[in-house]
Amino acid sequence: MPVNNGNRCDGRIATSTRKEYYLHGFRGETASAMKWWLIYIILKTSATAAFVLHPFHSTTLLSTSNIQRTRNHNFFDLQSTLGLSKTQHQKSSPNQDRYCTPKRSSPAEKPFKSTDAAKVIEVNKKIVALGKQQKWKELLILYQQEKKIFNNVNFATTMSQIGRIRSVQRSDPLFQQFMEDLSSRLENYGIEWMGTRGFANIIHALGKMKLKSHSAGKIINFASSSNIGKNFILQGNSQGLANIAWAFAKLDVKAPNFFHAIEEQAEWMVKEGNPQDTANTAWAFAKLDTKATNFFNAIEEQAEWLVKEGSPQDIANTAWAFAKLDIKAPKLFNAIEEQGERLVKEGNPQDIANTAWAFAKLDIKAPNLFNAIEEQGERLVKEGNQQEVANIAWAFAKLDIKAPSLFNAIEERAEWLVKEGNPQDIANTAWAFAKLDIKAPNLFNAIEEQGERLVKEGNPQDIANTAWAFAKLDIKAPNLFNAIEEQGERLVKEGNQQEVANIAWAFAKLDIKAPNLFYAIEEQAEWLVMEGNLQNISNIAWAFAKLDITAPNLFHAIEEQAEWMVKEGNLQNISNIAWAFAKLDIKAPNLFYAIEEQAEWFVKEGNPQNIANTGWAFAKLDIKAPNFFHAIEEQAEWFVKEGNPQNIANTAWAFARVDIIAPNFFNAIEEQAERLVKEGNPQDIANTAWAYAKLDIKAPNFFIAIEEQAEWFVKEGNPQDIVNTAWAFAKLDIKAPNFFNAIEGQAEWLVKDGSPQSTANTAWAFAKLDIKAPS
């Protein structure tokens, strides 16, 4: 047992070589005699010797056998229950914490004059009974009646019972008076009077109630600023530490001294504590976003023990904590994965949801765990609440795991989920379905019906995720998107760059005009560009371009940051931005010069789509980029083999638009002609044919393949595609009877739907090839 040096208490119960026990109102030998007399009476009259507070149960009953095996630090619980305390005859230092050593009080100020210990115990039994019956008012009336004899255990038990009753009216004068009296007693008589176990239970109850009144604040402020953590460690009370840590986290109280004390003794804490203590403490660190390297390393070392001995809730809370703090723990998560089937069978939906979330957050594959969840999918959806269901769905989608049973069950309960769920739950669920490309008409129809409510109640992240899901699945939702448009200004002001970008992307993807939203984005352009990452900027620029909305502030801000963007950004983002400038016909010398300087890297590292979009942008703006197009020509064979018909067509168009001969590139297309014509759509084929003709390159394989697909091409293509292809045949002087016969068969439609220019160009092609076309 530690010995006080007499200079500073540091939150410890005072001890010395010479000890005296006293029952309040009695000292010395009388108190010692009273102590044993009381133990005898209690054991004689009841099988339950005394009420010893336990953090998660109303009381723990201490029997004779319990007394024999109680460790030293638990003996203080017995002393506290009997009104016994330790003291020493050393002078306190002026610097001692006022809560450590009781003040000397006048007889009128003493906390109790309990000459009848049996009465005190009887009161405690009444407290527990009323607590079990959820009678908080009667509890407080009992306190008013018996407050003169209320000792430390009575106070702690009352607070613990009240903390379990949700219906307590915190504004009730009796409750406020009780809290004021409790805080005053603790201030005047300190932890020594209350005992560490009782004090831990009081803090735990405050956390459970999330109580932040003035009197509760006084208790919490003391607990967070004193050295109480060291006191609990010195007494070996890991459970008390865990309970106080949990309460601090529930109340969002930063307590650096307290958590630092745990971190310093992390190895002891994890080895001595049970899995629940460890889990609750880890949860507290994570909830308060407090790094604790020693503590989490100690858990990782004990991972196998914790998973085998812990309950599903303990394991879930521990995994959640690691994931929340982004800490890798291979031993822990491997052990959970090995026990996956058991944990899912024994765990409730909340435990399973938290565990699945943790694996997904850390991007850890766990087939045993997720297969077990999928097998229990229907049960979990029926028994779980909306948040738990949403988190499970999110985890599967994040890890790209198909789960038909789970998602079918969610779709069947879609109406319930949307009506009862909050905007975040609904958004996460919709995101999961969209991420896995699962159609869910019930779910998305229900969301659309609740669109106005969800937008009013949801935050920008919820709204952005929901809009993204609809757009990803190409689902029109006029109620939802009209509501978003009405809230456009608010969403842009309150949302971060990613949220704004996702909302803009969704509108553009569904081709929905939203003047309020996009005007608000344009007003915040400088902030979006300066603070946002390149992906957000590229998505916003793409959205404006897709909807043909000019935004001088936005694009000017992007142009000013062009050099940085090209050096720091990835190729997809750069290509999207270049495409947006070209689509809106905006000159951007800084941007395109920076791309041209990085041309070799861009083409070697980029995929065909990035390269094609950027090449198209250069050509659309009539920008010569010899380095860029030369780099494509060098990678021609790879590009044509890996690219799809659209990528190849756009790149061919770009070469032709800027009049660059590229024999390697066009020879590679000619070799892949049959595939490109069969797989491509009429627009891709027409653009490629136009490029050959523009550069006056013969390509017999390519044009024969078109001639073979002539009837399909003319029926499926639009007038412009057909005209451009006819022009190419004529320009290269290639006879194509099937193709031109098919045009002749569609002549009336082409003239009606086509522009005067397209009609003229078609007539030119017939004439150039000397083909009669009576229709």
Domain boundary among 625, 642, 671: 671
Q: Exposure of 272 by Cβ count < 10 A (0-12 exposed, 13-18 middle, 19+ buried)? A: middle
- The secondary structure of residue 301, as a DSSP letter, is H
- The secondary structure of residue 92, as a DSSP letter, is P
Residues 713 and 702 placed together within one structural domain of the fold: yes
Instruction: Give the pLDDT confidence score for residue 118 in this predicted structure.
Output: 84
Residue 524 lies in a domain: no
Task: Return the closest-CA partner of residue 160 out of 234, 258, 252, 51.
Answer: 51
Q: How many domains does the chain have?
A: 3
Residues 53 and 145 placed together within one structural domain of the fold: yes
Domain boundary among 671, 703, 726: 671
Residues 127 and 34 placed together within one structural domain of the fold: yes
What is the model's pTM?
Answer: 0.77
Residues 619 and 758 placed together within one structural domain of the fold: no
Residues 685 and 663 placed together within one structural domain of the fold: no
Asked if 481 and 517 count as a contact pair (C-beta separation under 8 A), the reply is no
DSSP 303-368: HHHHHHHS-HHHHHHHHHHHHHTT---HHHHHHHHHTHHHHHHHS-HHHHHHHHHHHHHTT---HH
Residue that has been written with the tokens 């009678």 in this structure: 135
Cα 591 from Cα 525, distance rounded (Å): 17
Instruction: Give the pLDDT confidence score for residue 127 in this predicted structure.
Output: 93
- The secondary structure of residue 227, as a DSSP letter, is S
Residue 25 lies in a domain: yes
Domain that holds residue 744: 672-775
**Which of 163-177 are b and which e, b meaning 16 or more Cβ less than 10 Å from the residue's Cβ?**
bbbeebeeeeeebbe
Instruction: Give the pLDDT confidence score for residue 236 in this predicted structure.
Output: 61
Cα 658 from Cα 652, distance rounded (Å): 10
Query: How big is the CA angle at 627 (ends 624 and 633), to the nearest 5 degrees?
Result: 100
pLDDT along the chain (775 residues), means of 10: 34 31 37 44 39 34 32 36 36 34 40 64 92 92 90 91 90 92 87 81 88 86 71 73 89 88 91 93 95 96 96 97 97 97 96 98 97 96 96 98 96 95 96 97 97 96 98 97 97 96 98 97 95 93 97 96 89 96 96 96 95 97 96 97 97 97 96 96 97 96 96 94 96 95 91 89 93 75
Cα 2 from Cα 168, distance rounded (Å): 40
Instruction: Give the pLDDT confidence score for residue 307 in this predicted structure.
Output: 96
Which residues, at least 6 apart from 68, have a Cβ–Cβ distance to it below 8 Å? none
Residues 613 and 690 placed together within one structural domain of the fold: no
Residue 556 lies in a domain: no
Residue 57 lies in a domain: yes
Cα 562 from Cα 543, distance rounded (Å): 18
Residues 611 and 707 placed together within one structural domain of the fold: no
Residue 595 lies in a domain: yes
- The secondary structure of residue 94, as a DSSP letter, is T
User: In the numeric block, which tokens belong to residue 248?
Assistant: 């601090």
**Which of 640-651 are b and which e, b meaning 16 or more Cβ less than 10 Å from the residue's Cβ?**
beebebbbbbbb
Beta bridge partners of 85: 22
Q: How many residues does the chain have?
A: 775
Instruction: Give the pLDDT confidence score for residue 694 in this predicted structure.
Output: 97
Residues 590 and 575 placed together within one structural domain of the fold: yes
Residue 494 lies in a domain: no
Instruction: Give the pLDDT confidence score for residue 229 in this predicted structure.
Output: 65
Residue 75 lies in a domain: yes
Residues 60 and 199 placed together within one structural domain of the fold: yes
Residue 490 lies in a domain: no
Instruction: Give the pLDDT confidence score for residue 775 in this predicted structure.
Output: 62
Instruction: Give the pLDDT confidence score for residue 226 in this predicted structure.
Output: 62
Instruction: Give the pLDDT confidence score for residue 235 in this predicted structure.
Output: 67
Residues 75 and 30 placed together within one structural domain of the fold: yes
Domain boundary among 635, 656, 671: 671
Residues 660 and 749 placed together within one structural domain of the fold: no
Asked if 382 and 409 count as a contact pair (C-beta separation under 8 A), the reply is yes
Residues 633 and 711 placed together within one structural domain of the fold: no
Q: Exposure of 519 by Cβ count < 10 A (0-12 exposed, 13-18 middle, 19+ buried)? A: middle
